[in-house]
């Protein structure tokens, strides 16, 4: 009896085991019919079974990112209807076709949709195996498909403008009257590490799933795709040029679309926001085909946007205005990546307090307007202003013709020499002008005392120029006049910190504000001055 009982038990167990095996086999078959196909080669395929699947940080998914919860999302798979119901479980948001899905959000996924397990990270395409695939239309090319776009990533490199610009032209990046122009870092790609700057050349990923889809559509619509990127680290030796070239090719391989890439490797006219790279495209890299500005646009993340949000949804302040001002300089429509790729509304941004073209508006030379020059028999005028504020230009144009003796430390060598020059001028009953920065009370004190001892008036002429315009003037001078030495940032910032506006309590006879309208004998210099020259 015992043996028979054990035999029957074994039979029942075998039957149960067989049924379980059949169910597992069916489940595996279902899982093979629906997968999450990774966008990055670093992630792996995630097989989904019929019904509810909880996906998150685990050995099975290969995701070890601490931003991803162990129970990040729930995917309820309906094989028959070819649909997935998504519910976000984790604290950090997920992403669906580039849009943010917060905790407890519920939505539907279909074949070809893009899912980011954590928003901006771990991107996958939803694939139902029984649905006819069309990856060329809707997916990122991966390392395994790079051979199919081999011809698209071939092209030529060239160095132009004495090595200030490097250009890569993909085969198939044909000339067009329509240019779809983009910044690269923060616009086309972002760091995988989440750092502001990449740790190494492979620390990048496509910023949104919509990027390759959008670029391919534009290419099909006859646009020429161009990237314009500042890479000053190359000239400074911080970035290896050959390594960066390989990075460019890998990015274009992943995008699967022909692109012409312009890389500014040093400061100067070719670095954004200045329009040098765009002008080189117009003149030399579009096969003499005229570009229709109205049909062009530029997309970049350096848009001057303030910090927004808190916690997980917090976004850093934009590092500069370079991209927005580059678009203004070349006179094309500007979009942020979020506006262009994700359809977000236009965002708030912080404007510069100086618009170069507005510097040409007519203002009185002096405030108060009734200020006169050369009326006093003898006087000392102390100029006050940071380097680049226009002190020397004003002195040479408006004071020297009236017989004022110029005392300038750069020319004479020291403040003591300037005091001596002023003293000698006063002895000869001549007026003098102290053309130094004179930014603090101490630097003005000795000249005020000299005027008091000589019993002559001592006026202060304060350059009425914003800090932004001063910085603009400095950059303009560096671009157009090689005779001027570059002003050290540390020295400039030190002077800015020391600056104390003059007051009558110091013993001054009067304080006059000076408004200078830029004047040029050279039309090209005037054109350059009217451009936005500062990145922020």
Q: Give CA torsion, residues 102, 103, 106, 111, to 10 deg.
A: 70
Is the domain covering 27-138 a CATH 2.60.200.20 domain? yes
Same fold, 27-138 and 143-342: no
pLDDT value of residue 31:
54
How far apart are the C-alpha atoms of 15 and 20, rounded to whole Å?
Answer: 9
Please state which of the four CATH numbers 3.40.50.1370, 3.50.50.60, 3.40.50.1000, 3.40.50.300 is assigned to the domain occupying 143-342.
Answer: 3.40.50.1000
> What pLDDT digit, counting tens, does each position of 227-265 carry?
999 999 998 888 899 999 999 999 999 998 999 999 999
Residue-range domain boundaries for the chain: 27-138, 143-342, 360-529
pLDDT grade for 32, boundaries at 50, 70 and 90? low
Phi, psi of 347 (to 5 degrees): -100, 160
Q: Once rounded to an integer, what is the mean pLDDT over residues 522-530? A: 95
Mean pLDDT, all residues of the chain: 87
The lowest-confidence range among 145-159, 399-413, 427-441, 442-456 is 145-159
Q: Which two tokens stand for residue 342?
A: 């994700």
How far apart are the C-alpha atoms of 295 and 283, rounded to whole Å?
Answer: 18
* Alpha helices (H) in 226-376, listed in sequence order: 232-235, 241-255, 276-284, 322-330, 337-342
How far apart are the C-alpha atoms of 158 and 142, rounded to whole Å?
Answer: 27
Residues sharing a CB contact under 8 Å with residue 356, sequence separation 6 or more, in sequence order: 472, 529, 530, 531, 532, 533
The lowest-confidence range among 34-48, 133-147, 477-491 is 133-147
Please state which of the four CATH numbers 3.40.50.300, 3.40.50.720, 3.90.25.10, 3.40.140.10 is assigned to the domain occupying 360-529.
Answer: 3.40.50.300
Beta strand pairing status for 432-434 and 405-407?
parallel
Q: Once rounded to an integer, what is the mean pLDDT over residues 466-493? A: 86
- With beta carbons less than 8 A apart as the criterion, state whether 180 and 218 touch: yes
> What pLDDT digit, counting tens, does each position of 254-306 carry?
998 999 999 999 889 999 999 999 999 999 999 999 999 999 999 999 999 99
pLDDT value of residue 6:
36
Share of the chain above pLDDT 90, in %: 64
Three-state SS at 278:
helix
Instruction: Kindly report the three-state secondary structure assignment for every residue of 225-247.
Output: EEEEEECHHHHCCCCCHHHHHHH
Q: What is the distance between the terminal CA atoms of the chain, rounded to a whole angstrom?
A: 92
> What pLDDT digit, counting tens, does each position of 310-361 carry?
776 777 889 899 999 999 999 999 999 999 999 988 889 998 889 999 888 8
**CA 155 to chain CA mean position, Å:** 26
pLDDT value of residue 77:
95
Torsion-angle region of residue 382: left (phi > 0), alpha (psi -120 to 50) or beta?
A: beta
pLDDT grade for 490, boundaries at 50, 70 and 90? confident
Q: Which two tokens stand for residue 279?
A: 């002008």
**Residue 142: Cβ-neighbour burial (10 angstroms; 0-12, 13-18, 19+):** middle
pLDDT value of residue 152:
42
- Whether the pLDDT of residue 100 is over 80: the answer is no
């Amino acid at each position: 009896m015992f043996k028979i009982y054990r035999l029957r038990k074994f039979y029942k167990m075998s039957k149960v085991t067989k049924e379980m095996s059949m169910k597992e086999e069916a489940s595996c078959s279902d899982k093979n019919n629906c997968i999450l196909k990774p966008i990055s080669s670093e992630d792996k395929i995630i097989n989904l079974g019929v019904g509810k699947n909880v996906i998150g940080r685990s050995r099975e998914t290969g995701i070890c990112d601490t931003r991803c919860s162990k129970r990040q999302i729930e995917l309820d798979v309906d094989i028959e209807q070819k649909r997935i119901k998504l519910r976000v479980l984790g604290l950090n948001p997920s992403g669906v076709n580039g849009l943010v899905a917060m905790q407890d959000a519920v939505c539907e996924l279909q074949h070809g949709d893009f899912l980011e397990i954590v928003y901006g990270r771990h991107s996958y395409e939803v694939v139902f195996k029984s649905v006819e695939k069309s990856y060329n239309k809707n997916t990122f090319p991966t390392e395994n498909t790079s051979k199919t776009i081999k011809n698209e990533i071939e092209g030529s490199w060239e160095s132009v403008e004495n090595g200030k610009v490097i250009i890569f032209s993909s085969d198939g990046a044909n000339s067009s009257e329509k240019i779809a122009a983009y910044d690269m870092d923060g616009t086309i790609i972002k760091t995988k590490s989440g750092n502001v700057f990449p740790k190494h050349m492979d620390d990048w990923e496509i910023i949104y799933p919509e990027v390759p889809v959008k670029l391919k559509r534009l290419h099909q619509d006859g646009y020429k795709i161009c990237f314009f990127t500042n890479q000053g680290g190359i000239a400074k030796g911080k970035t290896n040029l050959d390594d960066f070239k390989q990075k460019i090719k890998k990015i274009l391989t992943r995008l699967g679309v022909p692109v012409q890439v312009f890389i500014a490797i040093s400061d100067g006219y070719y670095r954004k926001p200045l329009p040098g790279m765009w002008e080189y495209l117009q003149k030399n890299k579009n096969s003499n085909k005229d570009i229709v500005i109205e049909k062009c646009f530029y997309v970049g993340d350096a848009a001057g946007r303030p910090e927004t949000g808190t916690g997980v949804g917090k976004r850093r302040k934009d590092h500069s205005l370079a991209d927005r001002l580059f678009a203004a300089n070349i006179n094309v429509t500007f979009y942020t990546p979020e506006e262009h790729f994700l359809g977000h509304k236009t965002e708030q941004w912080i404007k510069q307090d100086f618009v170069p073209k507005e510097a040409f508006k007519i203002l009185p030379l002096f405030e108060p307007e009734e200020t006169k020059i050369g009326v006093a028999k003898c006087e000392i005028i102390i100029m006050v202003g940071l380097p680049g504020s226009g002190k020397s230009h004003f002195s040479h144009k408006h004071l020297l013709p009236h017989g004022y003796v110029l005392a300038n430390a750069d020319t004479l060598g020291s403040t003591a020499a300037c005091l001596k020059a002023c003293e000698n001028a006063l002895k000869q009953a001549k007026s003098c002008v102290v053309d130094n920065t004179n930014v603090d009370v101490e630097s003005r004190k000795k000249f005020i005392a000299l005027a008091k001892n000589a019993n002559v008036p001592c006026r202060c002429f304060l350059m009425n120029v914003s800090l932004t315009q001063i910085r603009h003037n400095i950059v303009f001078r560096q671009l157009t006049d090689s005779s001027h030495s570059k002003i050290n940032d540390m020295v400039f910032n030190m002077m800015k910190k020391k600056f104390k506006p003059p007051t009558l309590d110091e013993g001054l006879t009067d304080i006059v504000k000076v408004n200078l309208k830029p004047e040029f004998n050279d039309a090209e210099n005037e054109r350059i001055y009217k451009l936005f020259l500062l990145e922020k």
